[in-house]
């Protein structure tokens, strides 16, 4: 942190969730349960994929990375929010706030890219099944994940470096439960035109490209299925793409509903509700979506449980 001519603010005040004091205990218990469910559920999926050799396929390779990202994404914000509820000390150091923004952008971006990569994997599996093993080889899967990490690291670093160049003068109150980039830009007493331009161009591009890739993949999948419609092919496509499509709909649908179709809400409340949905709710639901609707995951879980009972 450069406190000299860059910022006179050494810490920020997080207002947290808009809840009443008498509701704090209930909300704390609820979010603690949600966070523990998120962590344990996603770690269980990672463990099952690593233990069961039948799950060593591209689809589950990407799913394990999605589970890791969900745990990391939630861990960036929820522990601090829970600590603020418990201790009522809602201040966060300047360096901690900047770090939180970096990792929030990093894991949010990677989640976006990974959903696009998983959509491409489903496209190859349905539209080019005879060439699936040739196209989705191990080297390509690793390259897609590694490339996504590199792009997202650069993306997060760019916005973080631009942010630390700004000055923060008197107001250090953040009407949120974590350090949000757009909120901090509003608090800055510097010229933020460059930051807004980069968010609109570079950030918008990295958001639109994965979404366009997902839409293109599912358009091709739908076209392929409709060419020779049959109940068997429809069932196979649904069982193959159903979980991923549900996660994509939940992820992008939440953002669209809150930011575009809820204009009557207060802007700060919209930001908080949207953040709770895609930082708390969505990562918690992903393990249930992929485990309850996935026969391979359920079989792997049964094997692990049976082994544990046998050892007892």
Residues 250 and 5 sit within 8 Å (Cβ to Cβ): no
Q: What is the pLDDT of residue 8?
A: 64
What does the pLDDT average to over 94-119? Answer: 93
- Of residues 34, 26, 96, the one with CA closest to residue 70: 34
Per the prediction, the chain carries an average pLDDT of 83
Measured CA to CA, the distance from residue 69 to residue 90 in angstroms comes to: 26
What three-state secondary structure class fits 114? Answer: helix
Helix (H) or strand (E) holding 139: helix 138-164
- Read out DSSP for 52-105? -GGG-SHHHHHHHHHHHHHHHHHHHHHHHHHHHHHH---EEEHHHHHHHHHHHH
Q: Is the pLDDT of residue 209 over 80?
A: yes
Measured CA to CA, the distance from residue 57 to residue 214 in angstroms comes to: 20
Residues 105 and 159 sit within 8 Å (Cβ to Cβ): yes
- Of residues 195, 204, 207, 208, the one with CA closest to residue 159: 195
Is the model more confident about 110 or about 253? 110
Identify the DSSP state of 176. S
Measured CA to CA, the distance from residue 71 to residue 206 in angstroms comes to: 22
Exposure of 73 by Cβ count < 10 A (0-12 exposed, 13-18 middle, 19+ buried)? buried
- Could you read off the pLDDT of 187-205 as tens digits, one per residue? 888 889 999 899 888 888 8
What does the pLDDT average to over 75-99? Answer: 89
- Could you read off the pLDDT of 245-287 as tens digits, one per residue? 888 887 777 766 655 554 444 455 666 777 787 788 888 888 8
Strand bridging mode 11-14 / 173-174:
parallel
Q: Is the pLDDT of residue 176 over 90?
A: no
Count the helices and strands in the chain (H runs, E runs): 12, 3
Residues 12 and 97 sit within 8 Å (Cβ to Cβ): yes
Is the model more confident about 43 or about 260? 43
User: Rounded to two decimals, what is the model's pTM?
Assistant: 0.87
């Amino acid at each position: 942190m450069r406190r000299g001519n860059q910022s006179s603010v050494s810490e920020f005040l997080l207002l947290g969730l808009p809840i009443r004091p008498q509701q704090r205990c209930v909300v704390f218990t609820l979010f603690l349960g949600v966070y523990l469910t998120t962590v344990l559920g996603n770690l269980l999926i990672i463990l099952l994929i690593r233990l069961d050799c039948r799950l060593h396929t591209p689809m589950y390779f990407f799913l394990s990375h999605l589970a890791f990202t969900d745990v990391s994404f939630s861990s960036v914000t929820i522990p601090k929010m829970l600590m603020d509820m418990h201790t009522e000390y809602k201040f966060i150091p300047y360096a901690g706030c900047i770090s939180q923004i970096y990792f929030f952008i990093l894991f949010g971006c990677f989640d976006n890219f990974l959903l696009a990569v998983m959509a491409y994997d489903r496209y190859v599996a349905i539209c080019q099944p005879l060439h699936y093993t040739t196209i989705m080889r191990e080297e390509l899967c690793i390259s897609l994940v590694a490339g996504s990490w590199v792009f997202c690291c650069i993306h997060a670093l760019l916005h973080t470096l631009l942010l630390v160049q700004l000055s923060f003068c008197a107001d250090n109150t953040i009407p949120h439960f974590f350090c949000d980039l757009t909120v901090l830009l509003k608090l800055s007493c510097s010229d933020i035109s460059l930051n807004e331009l980069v968010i609109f161009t570079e950030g918008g591009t990295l958001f639109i490209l994965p979404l366009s890739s997902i839409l293109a993949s599912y358009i091709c999948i739908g076209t392929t299925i409709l060419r020779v419609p049959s109940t068997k092919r429809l069932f196979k496509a649904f069982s193959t793409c159903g979980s991923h499509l549900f996660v994509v709909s939940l992820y992008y649908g939440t953002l669209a509903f809150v930011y575009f179709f809820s204009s009557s809400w207060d802007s700060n409340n919209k930001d908080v509700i949207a953040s709770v949905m895609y930082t708390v709710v969505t990562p918690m639901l992903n393990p249930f979506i992929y485990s309850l609707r996935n026969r391979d995951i359920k079989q792997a879980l049964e094997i692990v449980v049976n082994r544990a009972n046998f050892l007892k």
